[in-house]
Structure formats: structure tokens, C-alpha cells
Amino acid sequence: MFGAKVGRDVIIKPDINIKYPWFLEIGDSCWIGEGVWVDNLALVKLGNNVVLSQGAYLLTGSHNYKKKSFDLILDKVVIEDGVWIGAKSIVCPGVICKSHSVLSAGSVATIDLEDYVIYQGNPAKEKRSRSIS
């Protein structure tokens, strides 16, 4: 586990990349698909019942392009309970995906995703509310 905190009933498929396991917290009953990349130079926290579909990319670092020194900028990523991150989607540094939000396949989250809302596109935009029966 190398310092990662992992809950119960978590399914982690093959061929995933986790940069620093000690900066990773995974809640209960999560599913992490093939080819997921957790590029966690800072904390990445997954709540309960989270799905990271195939090829999803969680990114915690960027660079300050306005400075000659191109300084590294770090910020956490938080994925709250019941969130689904679609295949080949990207969650950028500092983004909070709030309870039961959805980031559609191939989308890029550059701002927080609100509770029970489905987002799509690059950058991801609100499409409709998510109702669960």
C-alpha cells in the first residue's frame, strides 16, 4: 500500500499509475478502471462509491507560465461520494467534484463540479442535473 489509505470493497483494475501512494485516500466501494493515472504530487481524496473509468487522469500539479522560473504549483483533488469520472476525462488541480456529480467521457474539469450535476466538454460545462432513482 506504500502509505495509501484504502477503504473496503475497492476494486482496482490493472495498468493504473499512482505517483505517490502516500498522498492517496480511497473510500469504501470504489472502482478504479484500467489505465487510470493518479498524478498526485498533492493529496487526492476519493469518497465512497466513486468510479474512475478507464483512462481517467487526476492531476494535482501545474506550472506558473507567467514566471521565468516556471514554478511548480500544487493543489489537491477531491472526489466526493458517488461521483463518476468518465473514461479519458481529466480532473485538474484544485478541483472538487461534489457529491454524485458526473464528468462525462473525454471531458476536462477545470472548476468545481456541483452536487448531482452532469458535466461535459473541454472545459467541462453543466449539461443537466443527475437524478438517481
The CATH number assigned to the domain holding 15 equals 2.160.10.10
What pLDDT, on a 0 to 100 scale, did the predictor assign at position 1?
Answer: 74
Output the nine-digit C-alpha cell for 129.
442535473
Q: 3-state DSSP call for residue 68? A: coil
Per-residue pLDDT reduced to its tens digit, 58-85: 999 999 999 999 999 999 999 999 999 9
What number of CA atoms fall less than 13 Å from residue 128's CA on the CB side? Answer: 3
Rounded mean pLDDT, 37-46: 98
Contacts of 7 (CB under 8 A, 6+ apart): 26, 27, 28, 29, 30, 48
The pTM score is 0.95
Output the nine-digit C-alpha cell for 81.
461520494
Number of domains in the chain: 1
Tell me which residue range forms the domain holding 99: 5-129
DSSP bridge pairs for 10: none
Distance CA 119, CA 97 (A): 10
- To which H or E segment does residue 97 belong? strand 96-97
